[in-house]
Amino acid sequence: MRDTTGDSLADGRFSVDTTFVLFFLAMDLGQSAMFSFGLDTMFSGLTLAMLLVLPYFLPTTAERPDFTRWLAGRSLVSSFAIGLGMMFSQGLGVVLPEMFRYLPMTMLILTAMVSCYFQFYAMITFRLAR
């Protein structure tokens, strides 16, 4: 049964915007993991783990999927993005110009801003009492 109370952002999709943030964060982690493994990579991995799990608990009017299947799908997305980030770092200077080095972080910042906008909009919108 579909909820028709008017929350158009959450209808039919659950945490799609945070999946894009997860993808670009994992891609940036894969790119930085090729150069060194230090404190910054450890904090990025911790942030990735939190972004993997915590969006499930964001308030929404959409029906939540099963947690284990949802987590498996997001783990698959992050694993693919880490591998893509590693390949991206290998291709810098060879296939792609060096100026594309900061593209994953730039896309991460843009998608995080859009995701924050969607999350705040979903929390702040007025809902009629029943």
Letter string b/e over residues 44-60, b meaning 16 or more CB atoms within 10 A of that residue's CB: bbeebeebbeebbeeeb
Band (13; pLDDT cuts 50, 70, 90):
low
Q: What does the angle CA 25 – CA 113 – CA 76 come to, to the nearest 5 degrees?
A: 30
Report domain extents, the chain.
16-124
CA dihedral 43, 92, 34, 102 (to 10 degrees): -10
Is the predicted pLDDT of residue 84 greater than 90, yes or no? yes
Q: How far is CA 119 from CA 15, 53, 65, 88, in A?
A: 9, 16, 18, 30
Output the average pLDDT for the chain.
82
Per-residue pLDDT of 23-81, as tens digits, reads 999 999 998 877 777 787 888 889 999 999 998 887 777 788 899 999 999 999 999 99
